[in-house]
A and B are shown apart, each in its own frame.
Chain A
Amino acid sequence: MSPHYLDHAATTPMLERAREAYVEELARVGNPSALHASGRLARSVVEDARERVATALGAHPTEVIWTSGGTEADNLALKGLYWARHAADPRRTRIVTTAIEHHAGLDPVHWLQAEHGATAVLLPVDQEGRVDLAALRAEVAEHGDQIALISVMWANSEVGTIQPIREVVDIADEHGIPVHADAVQAVGHVQVDFKASGLTTMAISAHKCGGPVGVGALVARRDLRITPLTHGGGQERKIRSGTLNAAGFHAAAVAVEQAVADLETEAERLGTMQRELIARIGEAVPDAQLSGPQPGPGRLPGNVHFIFPGCAAEAMMFVLDSHGVEASNGSACTAGVAQPSHVLMAMGRSERDASSTMRFSLGHTTTQEDIEALVAVLPEAVERARKVAGNVNQEMVG
């Protein structure tokens, strides 16, 4: 029995064309920095890929800095921008971000605060996980000249909320503050146009949209001064040293290109399944609560996230998994131990609710059968997870 995979936000299967391109390219030798024919050929593969990704995302090719993935791209943007901006003006110590960033966006900020004297400012979000723009305006008005950068993720990985990136950039522009966005969940799922967004930097990851794991990029404006994290061979305009991964970039480009080309039809297909799944979870488990915005332009089309009150998420995950339904218990793990979701907590949920969540994320291989399999096993999962939590559903009593 092949599993019903509903965890595409964690990683999605490689698109067939990307996989073929990857394997084909792996057969070739040549360091893209070498000057001989093999090196030149590899270099041309890297540059083709760069141009294709740039075109797909509304950026100029020189704006694409290849990395090992989204986490590295976020770290490069946050640390690199902070160091450069702080060096240019030591008064700039504030990093303004949101309470619902992915750990790749949050932890570098906490690290800069702990180790480099930065001040982390975490903007609140509303109940649906949308950043509080009034709080951002107030922060910028009061501390504009002390802000090194602003970082707001494009789309939330847990509950799928799309952030008002354009409004954030407009507020920042008045004071010339650079804005970084983690767009890892957005690429291939919603329209992403770097130039039109007005962003300074943007992190992307290949494996979230059908490319290989271990490949990402920081899209960064050409005029940007950014301090590198890694030093060595001076690749990527000396911003990111390290041998260029020609096969990985090639496959990433194929994946990003296809995901963006298919975006409209795929978003509509996933959006239809998303609405149906939300409705059917509501029927199967009447007290389950949808987290985040209603389906539509404010939410990723593949994201379905629920609070199942009184359920131990670990136990739900276990029951689903034992029936071949693969989903995420919706929060970060430390050595396999689920922690209450900081995103749900920031949205005003209790620690208990934030530990009773499940995320079902749909993607390009998702079919109606996957939805049926989930809905079929969900009541048992909820019942058992409530027993584990020692919590009897009121309806079962009454």
Chain B
Amino acid sequence: MKVLAALSGGVDSAVCAARAVDAGHDVVGVHMALSKNRDEFRSGSRGCCSIEDSHDARRAADILGIPYYVWDLSDEFHDTVVTDFLSEYSQGRTPNPCVRCNEHIKFDTLLERADALGFDAVATGHYARIDIRDDGTRELHRAADAQKDQSYVLAVMGPEKLAKAMFPLGSIASKSEVRAEAAARGLGVSNKPDSYDICFVADGDTKGFLERALGASQGDIVDETGEKVGEHSGAYSYTVGQRKGLGIGRPAQDGKPRYVTDVQTTTNTIVVGPETLLTVYTLTGEDVVWMAPDVPAAEPTRCHAQVRAHGDAIPASVARDGDRMTVELDEPMRGVAAGQSLVVYDGTRVLGQATVAKREL
């Protein structure tokens, strides 16, 4: 097969490309440039989009003996991922930009380009498994290494795109195995630290990034009774479930800590309250992607639900509700924000994904 291996410059994508080569595929390495000004993004160990990272990606391709190209996807990245990030926060929602990047960049723009250029598949260094049933149906599963599992951020891609994806690291036992394999192959990135946080927030200061982009906008912080208890400089800087950094002088009447329970952007108000108000039993998701076409319509199906990349999966039942997804949790979640990505699993298998629209007690 003609395989396009996405090379971020990190160790995972380098080993991913190496495994695709070993499997006998005709592999081409592509590094995605996600910023026109390459100094804007984090350098070295902290990101995946700097000049240093594209150099590391090139050297990995050299060692593997595969062609290497840099594709400029900065406009698409800005228009979808960065713009969405800002617009979601400005509406009081809490987006996951990595999910959007997988949805719009890696498994949309990149995949389509690859398709137009005659590639059969796109291989990435994500930790997730693809199982192919006897009838050809493809299932997306959690990675063998639960610590590194990235099925949560991949669920958004849907079954059609899954058919053109390869995740050669899905069955790997642990990250240290990837590093050992990279070292054995002579890949210079074998000891490169993992990237984390948001690649386009150069200094790691998300609040500062939002303030610069959206501007300060002072408003009130009120408690559950509507009484003003403080002020804030921009509602977008707060997220439901947040406890730290509220800057409320007066303690609550019950003496217990207060949490953000709602972000109301229309009135530019932050609502705080006791932890009990964060409790959520029912989640409604929109923009639903059913990864498993065999999930029964309407009838609730047993599952586990997850709302954060590294959060716990909670036993639940899921049902199709027109173009929405409804999840009834067996035990409550705490502090779920609108905009978060909701993924439901059957064991290790991803059933579907949706964006949290409503959460109820």
Say whether A336 contacts B54, CB under 8 Å: yes
0/1 interface trace, chain B 28-56, chain A, CB 8 Å (1 if under): 10010100101000000000000100100
Q: Which of B83-140 contact A (CB under 8 A)?
A: 112-113, 116-118
- Given the known interface contacts A336-B33, A336-B54, A337-B36, the answer about A384 and B70 at a Cβ–Cβ threshold of 8 Å is no
0/1 interface trace, chain A 318-352, chain B, CB 8 Å (1 if under): 11011000000000001111100000000000000
Closest to A387 in B: B116
Say whether B72 contacts A338, CB under 8 Å: yes
Q: Which residues of B contact A315 (CB under 8 A)?
A: 113, 116-117
Say whether B117 contacts A319, CB under 8 Å: yes
Q: How far is the CA of A383 from the CA of B38 in the complex (A)?
A: 30
Say whether A318 contacts B74, CB under 8 Å: no
Say whether A335 contacts B70, CB under 8 Å: yes
Closest to B54 in A: A335
Consensus secondary structure, chain B interface: mixed
Q: How far is the CA of A334 from the CA of B118 in the complex (A)?
A: 26
Q: Which residues of A contact B31 (CB under 8 A)?
A: 336
Tell me the smallest distance from the CB of B277 to a CB of chain A, in Å.
Answer: 47
Closest to B117 in A: A384
Say whether A337 contacts B113, CB under 8 Å: no
Q: Which residues of B contact A318 (CB under 8 A)?
A: 69, 117
| Of the residues A314, A319, A321, contact of B72 by C-beta under 8 Å | A314
| Of the residues A314, A322, A337, contact of B74 by C-beta under 8 Å | A337
Say whether A335 contacts B117, CB under 8 Å: no
Say whether B116 contacts A335, CB under 8 Å: no
Say whether A336 contacts B70, CB under 8 Å: yes
Closest to A381 in B: B117
Does chain B have a CB within 8 A of A388? yes
Q: How far is the CA of A334 from the CA of B18 in the complex (A)?
A: 27
- Given the known interface contacts A314-B71, A321-B67, A322-B67, the answer about A337 and B117 at a Cβ–Cβ threshold of 8 Å is no
0/1 interface trace, chain A 378-389, chain B, CB 8 Å (1 if under): 000000100110
Q: How far is the CA of A334 from the CA of B113 in the complex (A)?
A: 21
Q: How far is the CA of A318 from the CA of B74 in the complex (A)?
A: 18
Q: How far is the CA of A397 from the CA of B18 in the complex (A)?
A: 41
| Of the residues A335, A338, A388, contact of B51 by C-beta under 8 Å | A335
Consensus secondary structure, chain A interface: helix
Say whether B113 contacts A335, CB under 8 Å: no
Q: Which residues of B contact A384 (CB under 8 A)?
A: 116-118
Q: How far is the CA of A176 from the CA of B82 in the complex (A)?
A: 54
Tell me the smallest distance from the CB of B230 to a CB of chain A, in Å.
Answer: 45
Q: How far is the CA of A8 from the CA of B72 in the complex (A)?
A: 25
Instruction: Tell me how many residues of B have a C-beta within 8 Å of chain A.
Output: 19
- Given the known interface contacts A321-B67, A322-B67, the answer about A337 and B116 at a Cβ–Cβ threshold of 8 Å is no
Q: How far is the CA of A336 from the CA of B31 in the complex (A)?
A: 9
Q: Which residues of A contact B36 (CB under 8 A)?
A: 334, 337
Closest to A314 in B: B71
Q: Which residues of A contact B112 (CB under 8 A)?
A: 388
Closest to B68 in A: A336
Say whether B69 contacts A314, CB under 8 Å: yes
Tell me the smallest distance from the CB of B60 to a CB of chain A, in Å.
Answer: 14
Tell me the smallest distance from the CB of A80 to a CB of chain B, in Å.
Answer: 29
Q: How far is the CA of A335 from the CA of B72 in the complex (A)?
A: 10
Tell me the smallest distance from the CB of A368 to a CB of chain B, in Å.
Answer: 27
Q: How far is the CA of A388 from the CA of B51 in the complex (A)?
A: 24
Q: Which residues of B contact A321 (CB under 8 A)?
A: 67
Q: Which residues of A contact B58 (CB under 8 A)?
A: 336
Say whether A335 contacts B118, CB under 8 Å: no
Closest to B70 in A: A336
Tell me the smallest distance from the CB of A320 to a CB of chain B, in Å.
Answer: 11
Q: Which of A370-398 contact B (CB under 8 A)?
A: 384, 387-388
0/1 interface trace, chain B 196-223, chain A, CB 8 Å (1 if under): 0000000000000000000000000000
Q: Which residues of A contact B74 (CB under 8 A)?
A: 337
Q: Which residues of A contact B28 (CB under 8 A)?
A: 322
| Of the residues A334, A335, A336, A387, contact of B69 by C-beta under 8 Å | A336
Closest to A312 in B: B113
Say whether A388 contacts B33, CB under 8 Å: no
Q: How far is the CA of A299 from the CA of B332 in the complex (A)?
A: 75
- Given the known interface contacts A319-B117, A384-B118, the answer about A335 and B38 at a Cβ–Cβ threshold of 8 Å is yes
Q: How far is the CA of A273 from the CA of B140 in the complex (A)?
A: 54
Closest to B55 in A: A335
Which of B51, B69, B116 has the most CB atoms of chain A within a 10 A radius of its CB? Answer: B116
Which of B36, B58, B67, B113 has the most CB atoms of chain A within a 10 A radius of its CB? Answer: B113
Tell me the smallest distance from the CB of A389 to a CB of chain B, in Å.
Answer: 9
Which of A319, A337, A384, A387 has the most CB atoms of chain B within a 10 A radius of its CB? Answer: A337
Tell me the smallest distance from the CB of A329 to a CB of chain B, in Å.
Answer: 11
Q: Which residues of B contact A338 (CB under 8 A)?
A: 72
Q: How far is the CA of A18 from the CA of B72 in the complex (A)?
A: 38
Could you list 11 examples of A-B contacts with CB < 8 Å?
Answer: A314-B69, A314-B71, A315-B113, A315-B116, A334-B38, A335-B70, A336-B58, A336-B70, A337-B72, A338-B72, A384-B116
Lowest 10 CB-CB distances: which A-B pairs, in order?
A: A336-B70, A387-B116, A337-B33, A337-B72, A388-B116, A335-B51, A335-B38, A388-B113, A335-B54, A384-B117
Residues of A within 8 A of B (CB): 314-315, 318-319, 321-322, 334-338, 384, 387-388
Identify 15 new A-B residue pairs, CB closer than 8 A, beyond the known A335-B38, A338-B72, A388-B113: A314-B72, A318-B69, A319-B117, A321-B67, A335-B51, A335-B54, A335-B70, A336-B31, A336-B33, A337-B33, A337-B38, A337-B72, A337-B74, A387-B116, A388-B117
